[in-house]
Structure formats: structure tokens, C-alpha cells
Amino acid sequence: MNTHDILQEVRNKTMSVEAAEKLLRRQPFEDLGYAKLDTHRKLRSGFPEVIFCSGKADEHLLAIFGRLYEEEGEVLGTRASRQQYELIAAQYPKAQYDAISRIVKIEKPQKLLRGNIAVCTAGTADLPVAEEAAQTAEYFGNRVERIYDVGVAGIHRLLAYAEQLQEANCVVAVAGMEGALASVVGGLVDKPVIAVPTSVGYGASMHGISALLTMINSCANGIAVVNIDNGYGAGYIASQINRMAADEGTCSE
């Protein structure tokens, strides 16, 4: 429960002042010993804490997932294995898993999606990272349009979607190999482009470093670059941009 909800309940006389005071006195994080859950993150940043599942001990992951679900009524985990999903689902049957993006989540039903974020990829091998970005943005309440397999090797495919790209409040461009997609998209739209290099490619791509360097050195304006394969980071930034557009009343509906 965030501060606004607490104050609203006090105003509606469904919560006593003493109960509200007790909630507001809580530490801004919950110490589990092995983890310190940032329960006030949504209050500060507008988005709740998300779990990076890879590398976590089973018992730690299960406890963190359950506690955040209890706190927020929904929870998102990235880079989860199927084994981790099955562990979570055994205790939380509402959990959903997407094997492509490796996202495990419990989401509030009938969520209102606002604005318009376009997520595009150079090829189908980039889909795992793109889906991590798209599903992250959707979890945070944004409407997402997917435009996949439109790389520069067949640039007519991308140009066929120029209107959809230009209508978006921001574009996430996901590409491996040489990473040229972001530069081309940047030259087509007047909104921010979030470039995501992927580790897709042959030897000289150096596991995504070639695409990263191309995107950083782009001559197109309005491009920001996240780390290699960081779909979650791109989805988060896109959510912030789209939320600003929605708050200003200029978002695409």
C-alpha cells in the first residue's frame, strides 16, 4: 500500500490514524537477512521493485517473490529458468511464465494500458530481449506495439511500418549483428529511441559489443543505449517516457 492509498483510507475513515501512523513508521525497506526489499521504491520512483531471478538460491527467490507479491498484489521476475518458475508456481499457482523472455509474473487482472510504445527487432533471434522489454513495459501499464524482424538487410520491411513507429511515444530498437537498426529508426521518428544491442551474431560481433559500439556511435539524434541484452532496462525507460507523455496529455491512445 502506498502513501496515497493510506491517506485516502484515513480520509474515508476506513483506517484509523493510529493504523496509518504504524504503516508510515515502517522502514523504507524490509530486511530479510540475505536481502533488503525496497518496499518504498514504488513510492519514490513510481515503479515497484522487480526480481532478477538468475543466480538466486531457491529458498531466497521463493521468499522474495512471495513477499513482494504480498506487498504489491503483483510481482515481476526476469531471467527466470523453467525450474525456478515451477518452484514458484507450486506455491503460487497464479504465476505465469514466458519461456521466450524468461519472465515469471503474477499480474493484476484487467490492467489499463496507456500510451503507445513500439518495440522492434532486427531479426527473430532478437525476440527474447525484445519480449523482455515489451512485457516489462506492459507490466508497468503501457500499451506496446510489436514490430519484429524488420532489420536493415531488408529495409523495405521497416519502412512499411514507418507510420506506426512515428505514432509511438518512444521506440525500443533491438538488434544484434552490426546493430544498425537503431540508427535507421532514429532517422525516421521524432521521439526518443532506446537502442538495445543483443549478443546475437558471428564471431566478430564479440557477443554484442559490435552492436553496442555501433549504437553508441550512431549519427542519428535522440538515441539512448542500454547494456547488451538488457531488455528489462529498455522496457523500464520506455515506461518512464510513455508515462510522461500520458501525464502531459499527449500520448497516443
User: The whole model's pTM is what?
Assistant: 0.86
> How many residues are there in the chain?
253
Which one, of 167, 148, 135, lies nearest residue 236 by Cα?
135
What's the CA dihedral at 110, 232, 200, 53 to 10 degrees? -100
Rounded distance between C-alpha atoms, residue 96 and residue 106, angstroms: 6
Topology (CATH) of 114-247 = Rossmann fold (3.40.50)
Q: Tens-digit pLDDT profile for the chain (253 aa)?
A: 667 778 888 899 898 988 887 776 666 776 677 787 777 777 777 888 899 999 999 999 999 999 999 888 899 999 999 999 999 999 999 999 999 999 999 998 877 889 999 999 999 999 999 999 999 999 999 999 999 999 999 999 999 999 999 999 999 999 999 999 999 999 999 999 999 999 999 999 999 999 999 999 999 999 999 999 999 999 999 999 999 887 776 554 4
Which one, of 147, 127, 105, lies nearest residue 229 by Cα?
127
Q: Report yes or no: 144 and 151 within 8 Å, Cβ to Cβ.
A: no
Query: Residue ranges of the domains in the chain?
Result: 3-106, 114-247
For residue 60, count CB atoms less than 10 angstroms from its CB and return exposed for 0-12, middle for 13-18, buried for 19 or more.
middle
